[in-house]
Structure 1
Amino acid sequence: MLIHPWDAAHDGDEWRAWLRTRDFGQLAANGVDGGPPIVVPTHFLFDGDSEVVLHLARPNPLWPAVEANPGVVVTVHDDYAYIPSGWRSDTPETGVPTSYYAAVQLTCQARIVDDKEGKAEILRRQLAHHEPGGGHGEVAADAGPYRKMLSAIRGLRLEVVDVRAKFKYDDHRPVEFRERIADGLAGRDLPGDAGARAQQLRRMGR
């Protein structure tokens, strides 16, 4: 992912705050024996600091790749919008269209969790996050409705070792230019436009 200086996160707090409100992305691992990368769309739980946890079904094709090489990447993108050429120039034929988006890529070292209590702990944390009001049964290794299903999954604990964060919203352009695009996003109001506009205005201090 190319990150120009003006697209970089201002600091660690910025990308952490953005990622804390997101829990779905893609987990990528190197392919086995020269094969293409394995990419799995999945929910995950980021602890806000240095660890990601998740679980996947035992037949998932990711497992051989992680066993061969525990270096993986969790990638998340959101708040994206297509910016047409006419918005970025007074004459559409000279404008250059672009994409606005935010993205965070976490390079991690993966540890597979196969013991029942370890998998139950991951499930407890994920369910507490996704269903904070409760409603699910007890999650325990040897009791409750999930104990017999634990054998069908494997857990992952991912230690974050590097972070690449990008907020691509034309920060290198004049304020008037960015305000014009923010107005365009508000008027168009397609899916994603409101999120992209909010990020652009936030980066402008508005």
Structure 2
Amino acid sequence: MFIQPWDASLDDAEWQAWIAEGHDFGLLSVNGLPGDAPMTVPTHFTGDGNHLLIHLARPNPVWRTIEHDPNVTFTVIGDYAFIPGPWRAKPGTPPTDGVPTSYYAAVQFTCQAHLVDDPEAKAELLRRQMTHFQPDSDHAPVAVDQPPYGRMLSGIRGLRLEVTDVRAKFKYDDHKPVEHRTSVAEALLARGQGLDVPTARRQLHRLDRVGPWKS
């Protein structure tokens, strides 16, 4: 992932807070077997210290590739929007001369994958995920010897992704003048399609912290 200086995370707290806001769905990317293309799997995840926790169905073909090569990448993308060219035209130039771009936030984790097959370890992984996704505990106990989850554990495998590196990108034209960034955020709020509103909020959040860009 190419990151310009003005697109970089301002500090670790920025990307950590962004993930904690509810960005808990991403793309697991694994190296293919010799002669095969890389494989990707979209999935929810939860954090556990320096690990990401995932579970997938046992028949998923991704397991063979992970067993062959445990070096994986997990990418989370959000707060994205297409920015039309006229919104980015320089002052005094025709709007049609503006060059469009994409705004987005992305956090990319480089990881070592550790398989989780022990039934109790899988149950604990699921309990941690349930605590995150269903904090009201409105679910049956996740226990090896109790239905309904006990009998389902054999149908899944768990993954503990040990994070070895994190790269975060917040691409919101932070190198442009304050007036430009403010006007684009206002245009996003007015358009209000897709993820326009959270994209505008993210841009304004960065604007508050960055102010005028200084190289």
Tell me whether the two structures share a fold, i.e. TM-score over 0.5. yes
Distance 2:10 2:98 in 1: 28
- Please list, as runs of the form range in 1=range in 2, the aligned pairs for 1:60-71 lying within 5 A after superposition: 60-71=60-71
Q: Structure 1: where are the runs of 5+ without partners?
A: none
- Please list, as runs of the form range in 1=range in 2, the aligned pairs for 1:120-199 lying within 5 A after superposition: 120-199=123-202
Note the C-alpha offset of 1:135. Answer: 1.7
Distance 1:117 1:30 in 2: 29
Note the C-alpha offset of 1:61. Answer: 1.1
- Please list, as runs of the form range in 1=range in 2, the aligned pairs for 1:97-108 lying within 5 A after superposition: 97-108=100-111
Note the C-alpha offset of 1:195. Answer: 0.8
User: Which of 93, 96, 105 is matched with 2:96 structurally?
Assistant: 93
Corresponding residue of 1:82:
82
Distance 1:11 1:86 in 2: 32
TM-score, normalised with respect to structure 2: 0.93
Q: 1:20-47, CA deviations, whole angstroms, 9 ceiling, x for partnerless residues? A: 2211111010001131111001011023
CA RMSD, aligned part only?
1.1
Note the C-alpha offset of 1:144. Answer: 3.6
Note the C-alpha offset of 1:193. Answer: 0.5
Corresponding residue of 1:54:
54
Letter in 2 for 1:81: A
Distance 1:53 1:96 in 2: 40
Aligned residues: 205
Letter in 2 for 1:69: D
Letter in 1 for 2:32: G
SS of 1:17's partner is: helix
